[in-house]
A and B are shown apart, each in its own frame.
Chain A
Amino acid sequence: QVHLVESGGGVVQPGRSLRLSCAISGFTLRSYAMHWVRQAPGKGLEWVATISHDNSIENYADSMKGRLTISRDNSKNTLYLQMNSLRAEDTAVYFCARDPGIPGTIMYYFEYWGQGTPVTVSS
């Protein structure tokens, strides 16, 4: 059974950094592209970042470009999102999600989701 569990969220001051983690089980991480999607309080869904199965492709939303790094450790079955220079508008629940595409492809929709980890940027 596919399972994704995010962690690492919390309250952080503006300008600081945070690294989110997404531990997976029930599938082989190195076979799938992975994504991060966020949702600000009371707002809609916003795609944040994507990494291909072999790490050769990284895509980032313009709203956070230059402040994000998506990465993965297949040996630890874990996806990461490093967020720097955080702003108040980055306050959101951050979800990791699995792409449905076979290795070598990225479909860019979200087949399985974690439960999300909340990030609050506030002084």
Chain B
Amino acid sequence: DIQMTQSPSTLSASVGDRVTITCRSSQSINSWLAWYQQKPGKAPKVLISKASILETGVASRFSGSGSGTEFTLTISSLQPDDFATYYCQEYKSNSPTFGQGTKVET
């Protein structure tokens, strides 16, 4: 199985900050990577697919980049609604795996 590693596990930030989360895969996944946002007690919401494609309806302050084994999710200016946990997920394989999550807190 492909292993996904996110860093940091927890990130302290303030409204207006630029936030960057990193995700690394144990082998090349080309650009087959998605990012999700999850709030407590809620289902995850997909933000980005294919490493950098913003899903419909997702705010433009979110962006993704990378290919191969290293990827980043950037929030250009953190908003109050963005405090949540973020997960990366590879979908190169038919047994997709998630990173362990990054909690963005105040």
Question: Contact partner of A109 among B42, B91, B100, B101, CB < 8 A?
Answer: B91
Whether A44 contacts B87 in the complex (CB less than 8 A), given A100-B49, A109-B49, comes out as yes
Classify chain B's interface size: 20 to 34
Whether A61 contacts B99 in the complex (CB less than 8 A), given A109-B49, A113-B43, comes out as no
User: Closest CB-CB distance, A59 to chain B, in whole Å?
Assistant: 5
User: Closest CB-CB distance, A49 to chain B, in whole Å?
Assistant: 10
Whether A44 contacts B99 in the complex (CB less than 8 A), given A106-B94, A113-B43, comes out as yes
Whether A45 contacts B98 in the complex (CB less than 8 A), given A108-B91, A108-B93, comes out as yes
A113 to B38, CA, bound (A): 11
Is B46 a contact of A59 with CB atoms below 8 Å?
Answer: no
User: Closest CB-CB distance, B86 to chain A, in whole Å?
Assistant: 11
Whether A47 contacts B43 in the complex (CB less than 8 A), given A107-B91, A109-B34, comes out as no
Q: Does B65 contact A (CB under 8 A)?
A: no
Is A113 a contact of B44 with CB atoms below 8 Å?
Answer: yes
Closest chain A residue to B49 by CB distance?
Answer: A109
Q: Which residues of B contact A50 (CB under 8 A)?
A: 94
Question: Contact partner of A116 among B43, B96, B97, CB < 8 A?
Answer: B43
Q: Which residues of B contact A109 (CB under 8 A)?
A: 34, 46, 49, 89, 91, 96
Q: Which residues of B contact A111 (CB under 8 A)?
A: 46, 55
Question: Contact partner of A45 among B45, B87, B93, CB < 8 A?
Answer: B87
Q: Which residues of B contact A100 (CB under 8 A)?
A: 49
Mark interface residues in B45-85 (1 if CB within 8 Å of A CB, else 0): 11001000001000000000000000000000000000000
User: Closest CB-CB distance, B82 to chain A, in whole Å?
Assistant: 19
Q: Which 5 A-B pairs have the closest CB atoms?
A: A113-B43, A108-B91, A109-B34, A109-B91, A45-B98
What residues of chain A have their CB less than 8 Å away from a CB belonging to chain B?
44-47, 50, 59, 61-62, 95, 100, 106-111, 113-116
